[in-house]
């Protein structure tokens, strides 16, 4: 079935380090892909999205490219800040004839000053 696989965390980085969080998916058809961020005790906020192959989503220094050939949507940021510490979820939607979102398990990022 349709699924999203994220790298397991936690990921601990020093401030200004380069961040990559891997995300791969399995889906029938052509899903839309999303990255959401969840700060402690809060709900999910959309970070970025891409709706078709080769699209690049970007926001707040984060970016991810929809790679159909490798079924991936890896999240990257060139220089992380302490305020980026949160849980990041990769998700897809628009497959199997439904509009449901399918989420990965989330990756916790901790950035140290």
Q: Does 81 bind other proteins (CB under 8 A)?
A: no
- Give the count of residues interacting with other proteins (CB under 8 A): 19
Please report how close the Cβ of residue 93 comes to other proteins at its closest, in angstroms.
8
Q: Does 101 bind other proteins (CB under 8 A)?
A: yes
Tokens of 66: 């929809």
Residue in 50, 43, 1 with CA at minimum distance from that of residue 23: 50
> Which position has the token pair 């060139």?
78
Closest CB to other proteins among residues 17, 108:
108
User: In the Cβ-directed half-sphere of 77, how many Cα atoms lie within 13 Å?
Assistant: 24
Binding positions for other proteins, rule: CB under 8 A: 36, 41-46, 49, 89, 93-94, 99-101, 103-106, 108
């Amino acid at each position: 079935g349709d699924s999203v696989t994220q790298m397991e965390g936690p990921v601990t980085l020093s401030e200004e380090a380069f961040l990559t969080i891997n995300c791969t998916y399995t889906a029938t058809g052509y899903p839309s892909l999303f990255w959401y961020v969840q700060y402690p005790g809060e709900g999910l906020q959309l970070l970025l999205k891409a709706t078709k192959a080769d699209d690049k989503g970007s926001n707040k220094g984060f970016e991810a490219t929809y790679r159909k050939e490798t079924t991936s949507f890896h999240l990257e940021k060139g220089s992380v800040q302490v305020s980026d510490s949160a849980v990041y979820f990769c998700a897809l939607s628009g497959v199997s004839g439904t509009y449901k979102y399918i989420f990965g398990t989330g990756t916790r990022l901790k950035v140290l000053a």
